Structure 1
Amino acid sequence: MRGDRLISIILNLQNKGRLTTKELAEQLEVSERTIHRDMEALSRSGIPVVADRGKRGGWRLLDNYETKLTGLKETEIGALFIGPSLHLLHDLGLANSSKEARNKLIASLPSIYREYAKSVWERIYIDNSTWKDKKEKVDSFEILKEAIWNDNQLKILHRKPDGEIKESNVNPLGLVAKGSVWYLIASRSGVIRSYRASRIMSATPLQETFIRPIEFNLADYWEESKKEFIEKLPSYQVEAEAAPSIIPRLRFTGRFIQSIEVEELSISAWKKIAFTFDTEEEAAAYLLGYGDQIKVNKPKQLQEKIRKMAEAVVELYEEIKTDN
C-alpha cells in the first residue's frame, strides 16, 4: 500500500539521515519516478522532506524533525480502529473511555494516515450481541472485576450446571466474554476452572491476596479449554428426509443442532439430510416440531421415541377437547 511506503520512507530518512532517490527506489522496490511522486505527497501532507543537490546530495528530513511513528502499517492501524463490541465494553465500564481513546489516537496520527483510520472506524462495526439481546444478569460483576484487578481471593456461591449450589474460595484470574456470556476464570486448589458468571449467586472479597501464576495466559487457557469442551461434547447422529419447502428453515434455525448436511442432488421429492445433535432428547424434540415435514430413517429407536411423543400430544389434546 502507498501509505505503508510513505511511512517507510520517513523511517528510513529518520534512521539514515540522507538517501538518494535511487537508494530509496531500490529499498522499496519501486521506480525512481514513484519515489519523486511519494516525496511530493509527503511534502503536501506537511512532512518536511528536503532535497540536497550535488555528489553528497539526496533526500533528508528537515533538521530536528522526528516522527513518533514506530513503523505501523495501514493494515495495523486498521486493526486498531475496528470497532470493539460496545455492549461488552459497557459491561466493563469502558465504553466512553474506548471512544475517547480512539479519538485521541486518530489525532496523534500523521495526516497521511488519519483519513484512513477514520474510514475504518466508519465502515466496520462489530456487534456480537444477540438479536433479542437476552443478556444474562451478573449480580456480582463489579465485585469480580475489582477482585481480578486487586488479586483478591473470593468466596463465591455458584450454581453448577446440574443445579447443585456450591461454595468455593477461588483466586480470580480473569474474565472471558463468549458471545454475550461472561465467564470467570479462577483457580481453586491449584486447578484452573471456568465459572459461568451468571451462575455466581454471590461473591465476597476476602482479606487474603494471591500471586498470579507466572506462566498463566488467559487467552491460551481459554482456547485450550474451549477445544477440550468441544471435544467432550456428546454427539447424536440422525439420518432423515425432509420436504424441500422447509430446507431454508432448517438452515436458519436449530440452536440444538451441531451440523446439517443436505444432499442437494437428491432425485427424490424429499431431500436426504444428516443431522448432528448433542443428545437424543434434543433431536426428538426438534424433529417433532416439524410434524409431517421430516421423517427419520435412522436410528430406529428415535423413530419410536418421536412416535410416542406425537401420540402423547394427540392424547393430551383429545382430553382437552373432551373437557371442553
Structure 2
Amino acid sequence: MRAERLISILMLLQTRRHVTAGELAERLEVSERTVYRDVEALSAAGIPIYTERGPGGGCKLTDGYRSNLTGLNENELRSLLVPGFSPALPEGKGEKARDAALLKVLAALPAVQRRSIEHARERLFFDPRPWFVGEAITPFLPLLREAVWHDRYVRLFYHKPSAEVVERLVEPLGLVSKAGIWYLVGRNKQQMRVYRLSRVRDVEVLEETFERPLDFDLERYWTEWSTNFQESIATYSVTVRVAPEFLPILPMIMGESVRQLIREAGPGDEKGHITLTLRFESKETTCSFILGFIYRQEVTPGSSTFVPGIEILDPPEMRQAVLECARKIVALYNVE
C-alpha cells in the first residue's frame, strides 16, 4: 500500500512539479504528516524531492528530473482501456485505479503533450447519464465483471418481465453499457441471450470455466442484436398537438431526435401549438405518457387551471383510451 502511495506521489509531482502537502494528503486520503514521511522516504531513496514552507511552498521535484517508473498494473490497465470495467473492488476503488492509470500515462508523456491533454480535460467532460432517469441498480456488476474476465460460469436468478424469477446457468461472454444501463451477453444451453442487470436478483460465480467461442465478437453481436430488438418492438404512431410551454421539455424526455421534428413542424398555430407524429411502444405507454403531461396555467392573477401539454389528435381510438384512463383516475380520487 505504501509503495503504491510513494509511486503516486512521484508520478503526481512529475506531472505538476509542485503540489502542496495538503493536496497530496487529500488525493491519497492520508494525513499531511504521512505525506511528509513519504517524501522523506523518497528523498532517502535518492529521489531529488524536497519541501518548501510558507506561501507558495509544498513538495517539489528538482527541475529536469524524470523517472521511467510508469508501469501500469492489471487493475489500472483494465480501467483505462475498458471504461467502466474496473475489477471487483470496493466502492470508489475502480475510480482510483483509473485515476492512477491516467496519472502514470501523463507522467510518461512529454511536457508539451501533457499540457495539451490537461488543457482538454479542464474544458471537456462526458456524462453518459440521461436526464431525469436514475441509474439502474446493479449490485452484481462487480461479480459479473470478474466472471466475464475469467470465463467462469455463473448461475443467474433472473426476474423476467412476466414477474417470474428463473434460474439460468450462463456462460458470460461480455458486458455492455447502453445509456447507463448494463446488459450481460451470455450463452445458455448453446443459445445466445441478453440479460438486463437491473433484473438480476442473485448471482453465483462457479469455479468451472467454459471455452469461449473463437468467432464471438461482442461489438458486432451487440450491434446486430440491438438493431433487431429495436425493430421487433411494436411501434404505435400518434398525431399530437403540443403546447408551446412544453416544447423545450419534450426533447429532454423523448430524446434529441424530437428536436428535429419540432424544427420541421414550423412555427405552429396562432397560439404556438405545433402538430407532431410521435411513436410509442404500445397504446398503454402512449396513454401513460399523455396523462403525465398536464401542467398548471395561470388564467388570471390568483387563479389557475390544469391544461394538457399534449393532446392526441389521431387515431380516434387513442383519444378514447386516454379518456377511459382519465375517467378511472377521477373515479379513484372522487371523494364525493
Structure 1 and Structure 2 fold alike (TM over 0.5): yes
| Aligned partner letter, 1:300 | P
Match of 1:101 in 2: 101
| Aligned partner letter, 1:304 | Q
Q: 1:126 to 1:107 in 2, by over 3 A?
A: same
Give 3-state SS (helix, strand or coil) of 1:94's partner: helix
User: What are the ranges of 5 or more consecutive residues in structure 2 without an aligned counterpart?
Assistant: 1-67, 69-79, 295-306
Give 3-state SS (helix, strand or coil) of 2:122's partner: helix
Distance 1:122 1:243 in 2: 39
Are 1:147 and 2:147 matched, yes or no?
Answer: yes
Any conservation in 2 of the 1:183–1:195 contact (CA below 8 Å)? yes
Distance 1:129 1:267 in 2: 35
> Pick from 264, 267, 270: which aligns with 2:266?
264
Match of 1:194 in 2: 194
Match of 1:124 in 2: 124
| Aligned partner letter, 2:330 | V
> Pick from 314, 321, 334: which aligns with 1:298?
314
Give 3-state SS (helix, strand or coil) of 1:112's partner: helix
Deviation at 1:171, TM superposition (A): 0.8
Q: Which runs of 4+ in 1 moved over 4 A?
A: 83-93, 130-133, 257-260
Q: 1:218 to 1:266 in 2, by over 3 A?
A: same
Any conservation in 2 of the 1:85–1:128 contact (CA below 8 Å)? no
Give 3-state SS (helix, strand or coil) of 1:234's partner: coil
Give 3-state SS (helix, strand or coil) of 2:277's partner: strand
If the length of structure 2 is used for normalisation, what is the TM-score?
A: 0.62
Give 3-state SS (helix, strand or coil) of 2:248's partner: helix
Name the % identity.
Answer: 27
Alignment of 1:1-324 (within 5 A): 93-130=93-130, 134-254=134-254, 259=258, 261-262=261-262, 263-269=265-271, 270-289=273-292, 290=294, 291-318=307-334, 320=335, 322=336
| Aligned partner letter, 2:211 | I
C-alpha root-mean-square deviation of aligned residues, in Å?
3.0
| Aligned partner letter, 1:249 | I
| Aligned partner letter, 2:192 | I
Q: 1:245 to 1:182 in 2, by over 3 A?
A: closer
Any conservation in 2 of the 1:240–1:298 contact (CA below 8 Å)? yes
CA-to-aligned-CA distance 1:198-247 (integer Å, 9 cap, x gap)? 22222223342111111112222222221111111221111122333332
Any conservation in 1 of the 2:183–2:195 contact (CA below 8 Å)? yes
Which one is further off, 200-209 or 168-177? 200-209
User: What are the ranges of 5 or more consecutive residues in structure 1 without an aligned counterpart?
Assistant: 1-67, 69-82
Distance 1:223 1:284 in 2: 31
Any conservation in 2 of the 1:87–1:129 contact (CA below 8 Å)? no
Distance 1:233 1:273 in 2: 21
Q: 1:198 to 1:189 in 2, by over 3 A?
A: same
CA-to-aligned-CA distance 1:28-59 (integer Å, 9 cap, x gap)? xxxxxxxxxxxxxxxxxxxxxxxxxxxxxxxx
| Aligned partner letter, 1:275 | L
Any conservation in 1 of the 2:154–2:169 contact (CA below 8 Å)? yes
